[in-house]
């Protein structure tokens, strides 16, 4: 569940972006700041996802707010999705899945055998990386191909996020059942 909280800034951005891209960016930045500070106070280390969301939404909010207010929503969504895909996919490539930092907070998961713990975290991290890749492709098509409606990419985002959250909440429980 801690992992889903780590995605709270992006989830807020995704939900609020249709109301106002600027509002969505600033609320996502504020949420990322709160999540990062809360976690940093509990243990003086930064998790990759928390720090990545903080930097990403700070830069996007400042860029759109002060440098390019006309940056289209589809482009903002594309940049956010692509940045998170690179961040999450990169964590897998360097053999340190981002979800491990969150899984260690759960004493039950941290007590699993090392091979199972790593397997579950690679899969959870992989699902999130694929979700952000799908969202980046969908938003990239809308941003770069004239005439495509944003609604299709929003539908893909909703489906990808729902599947990722569901997998994150259910898969570790199923893996733990196999231990008993």
Q: What percent of the chain lies above the pLDDT cut of 90?
A: 76
What pLDDT score was predicted for residue 180? 64
* Predicted local confidence at residue 68, as pLDDT: 96
For residues 123-148, give the mean pLDDT: 96
Distance CA 34, CA 13 (A): 15
pLDDT band of residue 142 (cuts 50, 70, 90) is: very high
Residue 2: per-residue pLDDT: 76
Is residue 1 predicted with pLDDT exceeding 60?
no
Q: Per residue in 120-135, pLDDT tens?
A: 999 999 999 999 999 9
Task: Tell me if the pTM is above 0.85.
Answer: yes
**Reported confidence tier of residue 3, pLDDT bands at 50, 70, 90:** confident
| pLDDT digit string, tens, across residues 79-100 | 999 999 999 999 999 999 999 9
For the beta carbon of residue 62, count every other beta carbon within 10 angstroms: 13
Chain-wide mean pLDDT for the chain?
92
């Amino acid at each position: 569940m801690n992992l889903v909280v780590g995605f709270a800034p992006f989830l807020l951005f995704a939900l609020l972006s249709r109301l106002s891209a600027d509002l969505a960016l600033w609320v996502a930045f504020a949420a990322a700041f709160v999540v990062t500070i809360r976690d940093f106070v509990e243990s003086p280390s930064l998790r990759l996802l928390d720090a990545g969301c903080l930097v990403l939404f700070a830069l996007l909010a400042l860029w759109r707010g002060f440098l390019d207010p006309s940056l289209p929503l589809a482009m903002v969504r594309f940049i956010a999705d692509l940045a998170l895909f690179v961040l999450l996919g990169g964590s897998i490539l360097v053999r340190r899945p981002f979800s491990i930092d969150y899984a260690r907070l759960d004493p039950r998961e941290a007590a699993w055998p090392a091979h199972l713990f790593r397997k579950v975290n690679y899969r959870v991290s992989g699902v999130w990386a694929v979700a952000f890749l799908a969202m980046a492709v969908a938003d990239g098509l809308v941003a770069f191909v004239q005439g495509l409606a944003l609604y299709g990419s929003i539908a893909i985002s909703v489906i990808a996020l729902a599947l990722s959250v569901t997998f994150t909440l259910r898969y570790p429980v199923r893996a733990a059942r196999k231990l008993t």
